[in-house]
Structure 1
């Protein structure tokens, strides 16, 4: 049985004194929790897979507030845990301050770049995977209007939206794309009620396929889409199973692989920047028994052709974060 020890409380206090010499890895989840059915849960899946395959154990903690970020990092480092893996760009500034204080500890951060010698920065080409699901959205849409609902309005999520819009336009240049963000604070990642409201609004504007890139908020988007009889697109984890036959596909972001690989390397973790895109299966789209009847062979063949072109470099998807602009979508 996998042993997962919480950071805070009596067990943590004991571990900090009696078990400091143990070089277990650690995983810190971002706001929204490890069972958000999306980004954090993908990280959890990777850690669990590592534990099951190796028989190893790891520590974990779920953030409840912004103030806990530095506290969690320092406590794990003081406890001798190595490497310490964290999910989310929001750890970036804190890790930049903490990492130099623990030069013998390796850190891995997902979705941000921290230029320190003991840090591995894992970033993804989300725009590439979003392009592929955008193509599917356009091919599946009967109204010619599709939607995008993001979580926190940050360049990273605009990167998802921009790639999606480019994929949609590649199939249907006349398509309408309705885009909304849930909010401007971290609470936007875990507000399924607001996600549902935004989905309802987009449906009223004619959207019959909605892509949610919003963490736990997306659960509300997918639920409302299913209730209203339209299609949705999941994100990060494969969410096709949540509403069989009504989730067109999911843009899978292999956060699970990134976490598993970091834990597998342990104290010998190779630092620097790791980029995961279509060419190395870092992002893609999900096909399984839950959406097989929604995606025809012709649809999949067209997407696979684009996927190969992206991987080879023949097709370049514009990255919003490089220019702070999107030729296919106005924000």
Structure 2
């Protein structure tokens, strides 16, 4: 893929080198004015088996779709340090990127500021809310998905103890936690829930050893299901669930993944994943832009819009009975029909 080769030569450079030598963003004319799409990933990167990887897959799918006629010089970069967010997005905004896509709340402030400075530039911001006339903000109803996986956790726990592990205690992750707790309590109000966070700085999203330490402690204290929403740190929890189930004839401890379908990471040990359809929505945004159907504003995707779901596939299908599947589907439909009001930290939590 040409766009990746270009990237490797020009973008994965040290920060000091980035400051000294600006990126080359002058290939728009040479590509017969095919739109160049530029993607900025958050720290997890394209191989995080989660949110960033899903966004990258949607981006790649669009680039490879010849019908969309996108420039092969389209690029992606990964923010490794906080200061790079503004550097990358500003460079893309002042260059020849027709559409700039920024992933993750860590890039939200930068997009908000630069959207004002570059009013003609079109942006897509994934997983944050910004109201600017040139920005499409894509958000997901995480509380709805978290409610379902909380219900599943309660359905499957044997010890009546479950846990939530988040990256940082910020509103977005508290939204997951609140939805998860509500789902657990919907099934059985007597189940004990603990809530723990990996850290208090952005490094919390890339500290799998700390997350593993927390998860092992939770499992050893009797929790038999852990829902994790901690970016790159989540891998530590997957390592922990594999360790505690090692050499056992049947699984007794489980994990619930997040953002993308992570069932395949530890087949039989992942109850499900709270899946955001990031790949679909990134692809759709690019398609809309190319086909002159692009609109700006805030778009919220939930169950009703096929923006989120719980993952059920060959890797976890043996964990459920037909009766349980029907019950889960019933709860999901009641959320869609507003028969179940899922508490949202963005509205409920901030009042407390």
State yes or no: 1:49 paired with 2:61.
yes
SS in 1 for 2:346: helix
State yes or no: 1:273 paired with 2:273.
no
261-270 or 118-127, larger mean C-alpha shift: 261-270
Residue number in structure 2 paired with 1:29: 41
For the 8 Å contact 1:131–1:165, the answer to whether it is kept is yes
181-190 or 142-151, larger mean C-alpha shift: 181-190
Match of 2:104 among 67, 88, 92: 88
Following TM superposition, by how much is the alpha carbon of 1:158 offset from its aligned partner in structure 2, in angstroms?
Answer: 0.6
Residue number in structure 2 paired with 1:16: 25
SS in 2 for 1:193: helix
Residue number in structure 1 paired with 2:235: 219
Count of aligned pairs: 327
For 1:129-278, what aligned pairs fall within 5 Å after superposition? 129-229=145-245, 230-266=253-289, 268=292, 269-278=294-303
Normalised by the size of structure 2, how large is the TM-score?
A: 0.88
Distance change >3 Å, CA 171–CA 24, structure 1 → 2: same
SS in 1 for 2:85: helix
Match of 1:78 among 94, 116, 132: 94
Distance 1:18 1:299 in 2: 54
Distance 1:20 1:222 in 2: 46
Specify the structure having the higher radius of gyration (Cα).
2
For the 8 Å contact 2:25–2:97, the answer to whether it is kept is no
Normalised by the size of structure 1, how large is the TM-score?
A: 0.93
Q: Which has the higher contact order (CA 8 A, sep 6+)?
A: 1
Residues 146-166 of structure 1: per-residue CA shift (max 9 Å, x gap): 111111210100100111111
For the 8 Å contact 2:102–2:111, the answer to whether it is kept is no
Distance 1:100 1:320 in 2: 28
Distance change >3 Å, CA 241–CA 189, structure 1 → 2: same
For the 8 Å contact 2:103–2:126, the answer to whether it is kept is yes
State yes or no: 1:115 paired with 2:127.
no
Distance 2:26 2:60 in 1: 26
- Calculate the aligned-residue CA RMSD, in Å: 2.0
| Unaligned ranges ≥5, structure 2 | 246-252
For the 8 Å contact 2:38–2:92, the answer to whether it is kept is yes
